[in-house]
Amino acid sequence: MFSNYKKLRENLESGNVWIKEVVDYYLSNIEKGKHLNAFLSVFKEEALERAELIQQKLNSNTAGKLAGMVIAVKDVLSLKNKPLTCASKILENFTALYTATSVQRLIDEDAIIIGKTNCDEFAMGSSNENSAYGAVKNPYDETRVPGGSSGGSAVSVAADMCMTALGTDTGGSVRQPASFCGVIGMKPTYGRVSRYGLTAFASSFDTVGVFANNINDCALVLDVISGKDEMDSTSVDVPAINYNDDINDIKKLKIGYVKENFAEGLDKEIYDVINEKIDKLRQNGFEIKEIHTPHSKYSVQAYYILTTAEASSNLARYDGVRYGVRAKESVTIEEMYINSRTEGFGSEVKRRIMLGTYVLSAGYYDAYYKKAQKVRRLIKNDFRKAFEEVDLIISPAAPSDAFKIGEKVDDPLAMYLNDIYTTTANLTGNPAICIPAGRDSKGLPIGLQITGKDFDEVSVLKLADFMIRYLPGSSQFPG
């Protein structure tokens, strides 16, 4: 009903719609969709109070850029005086002491935060089955996963529970669930959006991203949350997004595709859909070029070595003393550490902590961690060289459609391989987006990924917009 903010804003300013109506609509949909388990907390009273205040600002012509936009936030981003669980038992009673910069910037522009969404515990997972509060269900088929780790945010947009949502992307955690749920998911360049207030999984990979139903909304939210932040030394002072939907000049861009991304392991229907889109671009006058990134085949291995190492370090603080739940049945301080972490962390988090500790250990640091850092540099060099030949790169977003809940729980390697097409953008830091490209024979969404040059989000967004609007089968609800 309110899938386009530009139209909504026009209706709000003309008085045809009141902000309270918008909030009531989404609150109703959240209640109807409770069985999808997308939300961990909903801020009903606060949202309605904010609606009244922002309506007054709208009436006096002093409202911000996002007045009346209802947004959900992944529960790894802090919001002062609200629960911050990271979908983990170890933080089940923790309340945030401050607000993340990305969230505060939304609030400052009069967006309404409707609630915190479910996710894989500490953002570790590709299916949203690792949450201490239960799996999130895919709205296209409730027996299937929504993808992860930002599955709750993807579902909240796909099931019309909010207009846009924030997620986080460490190795594809915005783009892969966007693919599985048939929505738009954008990961900006590392450093464009402040990480202050984002609970760290892997600090050199973590990126705040956006889910939306259309490119204009995605670009608007991304523009608002972007920019230098004194609280985050990794944030970068770069020009704003300033996106507009004039795509008349889009055909001058050169489009590349990596042949290695269309090899064994990619589902045949996805292969056909992505190739069809590349052919359609060629027919529409785009220059299409085959490129090679020879070291990308090592991306998953390098990614999991480096991110588990960083996770091992970042999660050391959760020990029952400084943060999180403290185990009661302990005699010594060592027992308290062990028992608190054993009771508080789920199996996937424990697995990654152990892997990370192993690769950082004295006997294996050079063999694994140091070598993975070298591979990361080689992959970055591959993409730098590729972007000397082309402006954008097209690839699948995931090797399959949404798989069944429970199908890969006992096979971590198969789960990790779901990130095969998305991890490279996190290793290199480049911006990337997933857009709906169609549906397969089971009626499940297929996503297409577009990767761009550092800080060239505008070109990524423009090609995405062109493909959604003008290429058959790429509409928001394909088929």
3-state secondary structure the chain: CCCCHHHHHHHHHHCCCCHHHHHHHHHHHHHHCHHHCCEEEECHHHHHHHHHHHHHHHHCCCCCCCCCCEEEEECCECCCCCECCCCCHHHCCCECCCCCHHHHHHHHCCCEEEEEECCCHHHCCCCCCCCCCCCCCECCECCECCCCCCHHHHHHHHCCCCCEEEEEECCCCCHHHHHHHCCEEEECCCCCECCCCECCCCCCCCEEEEEECCHHHHHHHHHHHECCECCECCCCCCCCCCCCCCCCCHHHCEEEEEHHHHCCCCCHHHHHHHHHHHHHHHHCCCEEEEECCHHHHHHHHHHHHHHHHHHHHHHHHCCCCCCCCCCCCCCCHHHHHHHHHHHHCCHHHHHHHHHHHHHHCCCCHHHHHHHHHHHHHHHHHHHHHHCCCCCEEEEECCCCCCCECCCCCCCHHHHHHHHCCCHHHHHHCCCEEEEEEEECCCCCEEEEEEEECCCCHHHHHHHHHHHHHHCCCCCCCCC
Q: How confident is the model at residue 473 (pLDDT cuts 50, 70, 90)?
A: low
Task: Tell me the per-residue pLDDT of 2-40, one tens digit each, with 9 for 90 and over.
Answer: 889 999 999 999 999 999 999 999 999 999 999 999 999
Asked whether residue 426 is domain-assigned, the answer is: yes
Asked whether residue 339 is domain-assigned, the answer is: no
pLDDT at 472: 67
Domain that holds residue 414: 1-295+392-479
Residue 173 appears among annotated catalytic residues? yes
Asked whether residue 230 is domain-assigned, the answer is: yes
Asked whether residue 335 is domain-assigned, the answer is: no
pLDDT at 260: 84
> 117 and 165 in contact (C-beta within 8 Å)?
yes
78, 88, 102, 149: the catalytic one is 149
Count the Cβ atoms, other than its own, within 10 Å of residue 252: 10
Q: How confident is the model at residue 479 (pLDDT cuts 50, 70, 90)?
A: very low
Residue 477: is its pLDDT beyond 50?
A: no
Which of 122-126, 211-215, 248-252, 458-462 shows the lowest per-residue confidence on average (mean pLDDT)? 248-252
Asked whether residue 11 is domain-assigned, the answer is: yes
What is the tally of structural domains in the chain?
Answer: 1
The distance in angstroms from the start CA to the end CA of the chain is: 20
260 vs 393, more confident: 393
The chain-wide mean pLDDT, for the chain, equals 95
Asked whether residue 313 is domain-assigned, the answer is: no
pLDDT at 244: 84
CATH number at residue 197: 3.90.1300.10
Residue 163: is its pLDDT beyond 70?
A: yes
Mean pLDDT of 343-351: 96
- DSSP-derived pairing of the beta strands 70-74 and 164-169: parallel
Asked whether residue 206 is domain-assigned, the answer is: yes
Task: Tell me the per-residue pLDDT of 164-211, one tens digit each, with 9 for 90 and over.
Answer: 999 999 999 999 999 999 999 999 999 999 999 999 999 999 999 999
pLDDT at 194: 98
471 vs 71, more confident: 71
Q: How confident is the model at residue 475 (pLDDT cuts 50, 70, 90)?
A: very low
Q: How confident is the model at residue 242 (pLDDT cuts 50, 70, 90)?
A: confident
Asked whether residue 281 is domain-assigned, the answer is: yes
Q: How confident is the model at residue 474 (pLDDT cuts 50, 70, 90)?
A: very low
Mean pLDDT of 424-434: 98
pLDDT at 108: 98
Residue with tokens 């002093």: 62
Mean pLDDT of 142-166: 98
213 vs 473, more confident: 213
131, 173, 400, 474: the catalytic one is 173
Residue 123: is its pLDDT beyond 90?
A: yes
Length of the chain (residues): 479
Bridge partners, residue 77, by sequence: 198
Q: pLDDT over 90 for what percent of the chain?
A: 87
